[in-house]
A and B are shown apart, each in its own frame.
Chain A
Amino acid sequence: MSSVLVNDKAELPVLRSGLGLPRPDRFVGVRDWMTTVDHKKIGVMYGAAACFFFLVGGVEALTIRTQLARPMQHIITAQLYNQLFTMHGTTMIFLGVMPLSAAFFNFVVPLQIGARDVAFPRLNAFSLWTFFAGASLLNVSWFLQVLNIIGILNPVDGRTDIVPGGGWFGYASLTERPYTGIGTDVWVLSLQILGVASLAAAFNFIATIINLRAPGMTMMRLPVFCWMTLVTSFLIIFAFPPITIALGELLFDRTFQTNFFRVEGGGQPIFWQHLFWVFGHPEVYILVLPAMGIVSEVLPTFSRKPLFGYPIIVFSGAVIGLLGFAVWSHHMFATGLGKVATAAFSLLTMAIAVPTGVKIFNWVGTLWGGRIRYTVPMIFSLGFVWMFMLGGFSGIMHSAAPADAEQHDSYFIIAHFHYVLLGGILLGLLSGIYYWVPKIFGKMMNQKLGYWVAGMVIVGFNVTFGPMHYLGLIGMTRRTYTYLGDKGWNDWNMVCTIGAYILGLGVFLCFMDLLVTVFSKNRACGPDPWNARTLEWSLPSPVPAYNFTRLPIVSTRDAWWMDKHAGIPIEYDQADVSHGVHMPSQSWMPMGAGFGFFMFGIGIVLMSAGIPYCGYLAITGLATVTFFIYLWALEGPGGYHLAVPAEATPPSPTPARSHTPVSAGHH
């Protein structure tokens, strides 16, 4: 670590790492963003990528809905339809929701726990760049497909599905070599790479939340969003290994003709289903818990009351995480598991509804008796509580295995999971966007447009997925690219498509507003526009590079609120900061390693396509990863010191709100 002290990192002299190479700390602009290890910038990049891929997934969805608007249409081919629903699912889950959650984890968690950064900043950057590698690999398949259509790329197996088309769940035996083309290899490898990224991030966040809390920030004073981040990270580290193995076994089946799922060799395809859903079910809790965490922050803020039943909400979150590993076969009720297994999983699935219901009651308890402000984030969070509950109702209907026998593989299931995904997760994440953008960028989004967005999204998604409950029960099956016109499905499908366009417009407007906000000059707001409760709002907006001038010493839950309104001021660590605050050095190595993963993935895909020498490309990719990891280890963490302002306390809260009398909170 260097003792160099500067006011602004652009003033740094050339610092050299343990390898003798210059460190990229001095850069501003694009090279700064490429080498940054700052959790805030990394969060912004995750968020930008997530919003982009949400739109990509949305276009895929709208194409599906357009195809299904009327019976017997052939706007797109059946193969393209399969590829669209595969990519829509994979994109939305892995490139949309998970990175947007990661954006919030990155930006908010260190601020809420009173830390200066995450435990391993370069590992954090590695997660981001590896995520980009996986996302790029998945979507470069579209370009490869175009190359195939114009005749340049012709895989040796003669199959033309280069964009994955086997469903986001990739069931064997369909995904074996004789039945799908290199699209499946693309899917397998991108998920493996994305898995590495998620795992690295999860390890980082657990270490951060456990070890880097500010003094006095006990676990039971953590904001609920941090608790949900912790539980989600544990889910990730325990759920991703099974899918890694399953994907590896599938890849070996396809590449080396092993017999894990190949029927002709003795493999049992049902085993793929088991391994996939051992991952897949915790995955849906990985998707929803962050959104629940956001809602648990927004509701108390705009009810001007503490969260009702904090310990119970935390405990319920942990129980949901744990039970999430015990219910996976409810995705397989129609496979003939046997009476005992079916009953066991049915009961466990019903059990997991209990902690979820407890949370809903606690949120309602938070609202009850509060002085509610119907701001845009609040509308979205209220929408979450209601819509997620509806999704939960259809979910509990699935848990009864006899009922599920009818619902399975019908539109009823699509209705259920889109209610929890959109009604739940999307509304929660949009709430988070509107809530935290003022902190991230120091500017407010267009609130009036925000109400319209909320209306369009909520109405739109209800119009899209509400009728799907009915369609499912009258027999419309999933993953059918067109349908006959005499089944009574026609009108409702048209309604669903109209709803989809409304929903799409709403989301599109939101992201356009976000873009405008980021680059606008005249939407500035103060550091605490919402009169919020947690520590991040005690900092200036946008947050300075070092986060806290001095680290807070926490003595209660909702410490910032207590400081403002309950007369319990936050004390700050009195350590001498005249030498400035230590900042970790930036690095090229995580990006290099991420790029190596991309090379590995594309090498294997092209090797499967039969292009010569691509196996060497894959090996070079792995060697690149190893090489950059070695450089990463040898360069050392380095660091420099950034001068911080002399005043020990943060700027005071907006005067108009500080006189509002509130009921005293509790620890």
Chain B
Amino acid sequence: MSAEVHHLSHAELLDQENKRYHAFINLALFLSVFTGVEIVVIFLPFPPVVLFTTLITVSLVKFVCVILWFMHLIYDAPLLLILFVGGMLLAAGTMVALLNLLARSDVDPAVLHDSGVVIHSATRVDGTSIS
């Protein structure tokens, strides 16, 4: 991108940067809103599947937006996008593989203590709660 910038006239350069400035402001607002959505949604009474999907989707959208706009990849040569996405996919693939390779059933049961779970509230005999 910078090689191309070098060939633009100063006025064209300013114009391009100013357009991008507006994109950045919009993106910043968008990111704040989406982060807020994420935080609020986990406290809402949706089934876990919906919550997981929402969280993953929203964070993916934020991730992609920062990469494409703040990090300029949408304005730059495709090679850079391919390089970065390649690394990311490799990391994600390794993570998925590792998560599927290790399971709770592999852990020696002797080290697990399913008892001793904390009770967080108490009710008296008549049904009213104490703490």
Contacts and interface: CB of A to CB of B under 8 A. Distances in A.
Contact of A270 (B90, B100, B102, B111): B102
A4 interface: no
Interface in A334-379: 336-338, 341
Contacts of A336: 106
Contacts of A270: 102, 106
Interface string B96-131: 011011110011000100000000000000000000
Contact of B87 (A210, A238, A271): A238
Contacts of B101: 274, 329, 337, 341
A237 B106 CA distance: 31
B86 to A, nearest CB: 8
Interface in B36-95: 79, 87, 90, 93-94
A20 interface: no
A337 B100 CA distance: 10
Contacts of B106: 268, 270, 336
B1 to A, nearest CB: 14
A26 B12 CA distance: 45
Nearest to A275: B98
B94 A268 contact: no
B110 to A, nearest CB: 11
A237 B103 CA distance: 29
A271 B90 contact: no
Given A238-B90, A325-B94, A268 B107 contact: yes
Contact of A274 (B98, B103, B107, B111): B98
Nearest to B103: A338
A158 interface: no
Given A274-B101, A341-B100, A341-B101, A266 B111 contact: yes
Contacts, number: 28
A238 B79 CA distance: 17
A268 B105 CA distance: 12
Interface residues of A, number: 17
A295 interface: no
Nearest to A234: B86
Contacts of B93: 325-326
Contacts of A123: none
B102 A268 contact: yes
A242 interface: yes
Nearest to A274: B98
Contacts of B107: 268
A514 interface: no
Interface residues of B, number: 14
Nearest to A242: B94
A278 interface: yes
Determine the main DSSP class of B at the interface with A.
helix
Interface string A310-348: 000000000000000110010000001110010000000
Nearest to B111: A266
Most buried by A among B93, B94, B103: B94
Interface in A206-254: 210, 237-238, 242
Nearest to B87: A238
Contacts of A266: 111
Nearest to A237: B87
Contacts of A329: 101
A245 to B, nearest CB: 11
Interface string A263-286: 000101011001000100000000
Contacts of A268: 102, 106-107
A336 B111 CA distance: 19
A210 B94 contact: no
Contacts of A338: 103
Contact of A271 (B100, B102, B111): B102
B79 A210 contact: yes
B94 A278 contact: yes
Nearest to A336: B106
Contacts of A238: 87, 90
B98 A325 contact: no
Contacts of A210: 79
A11 B78 CA distance: 45
A185 to B, nearest CB: 26
A426 B107 CA distance: 42
A83 B102 CA distance: 31
Contacts of B94: 242, 278, 325
A487 to B, nearest CB: 34
A242 B97 CA distance: 14
A232 to B, nearest CB: 16
A278 B100 CA distance: 15
A210 B83 CA distance: 12
Contacts of B102: 268, 270-271, 274
B61 to A, nearest CB: 26
A336 B90 CA distance: 25
Contacts of B90: 238, 325
A621 B106 CA distance: 42
A270 B106 CA distance: 10
A587 B106 CA distance: 53
A437 B90 CA distance: 38
Contacts of A325: 90, 93-94
B85 to A, nearest CB: 13
Nearest to A332: B101
B114 to A, nearest CB: 15
Contacts of B98: 274, 278
Contacts of A237: 87
A268 B107 CA distance: 8
A278 B91 CA distance: 11
B129 to A, nearest CB: 34
A341 B87 CA distance: 23
B76 to A, nearest CB: 14
A341 B79 CA distance: 34
A238 B83 CA distance: 11
Interface of B: 79, 87, 90, 93-94, 97-98, 100-103, 106-107, 111
18 contacts: A210-B79, A237-B87, A266-B111, A268-B102, A268-B107, A270-B102, A271-B102, A274-B98, A274-B101, A274-B102, A278-B94, A278-B98, A325-B90, A326-B97, A329-B101, A338-B103, A341-B100, A341-B101
Rank and list the top 5 A-B pairs by shortest CB-CB distance, nearest first. A238-B90, A341-B101, A274-B98, A278-B94, A325-B90
Given A242-B94, A337-B101, 8 more contacts: A238-B87, A238-B90, A268-B107, A270-B102, A270-B106, A274-B98, A326-B93, A336-B106
